[in-house]
Amino acid sequence: MRTCVGCWSTLPQTELLRFRLTSGSLVVDGHGPRGSGRGAYLCAKIGCWEAAVRRRGFHRSLRLSFAALDQDSIPESLKVMIPHSPRG
């Protein structure tokens, strides 16, 4: 069970998207629930993404400083990631 960083719902790992930080960019981890490094989980919903950005859920989960993640690129990245999600 994992918690969505946007809505804080607790769901099985298989029902959530796993994100990780790679070269300063937030990416969907294609290796599934056992991918390398620290991960953050999110429901495959636009509303959860917006809540995670607003509440700085990725910063908290990935242990980042505010400047470590480009907030402006996150909403644009979501438009690409959500349609390719397992629950999209």
pLDDT the model gives residue 87: 45
Please report the beta strands in the chain, taking only residues with DSSP state E, as ranges in sequence order.
2-3, 10-11, 17-22, 25-28, 40-42
**Is the distance from CB of 44 to CB of 82 less than 8 angstroms?**
yes
Q: For 44, which DSSP code? A: S
pLDDT the model gives residue 68: 54
**What CATH class has 2-84?**
alpha beta
pLDDT the model gives residue 80: 65
pLDDT the model gives residue 65: 65
**Tens-binned pLDDT, residue by residue, of the chain (88 aa):** 999 999 999 999 888 888 887 777 777 776 666 667 788 999 888 889 889 888 989 888 988 765 555 555 556 656 666 655 444 4
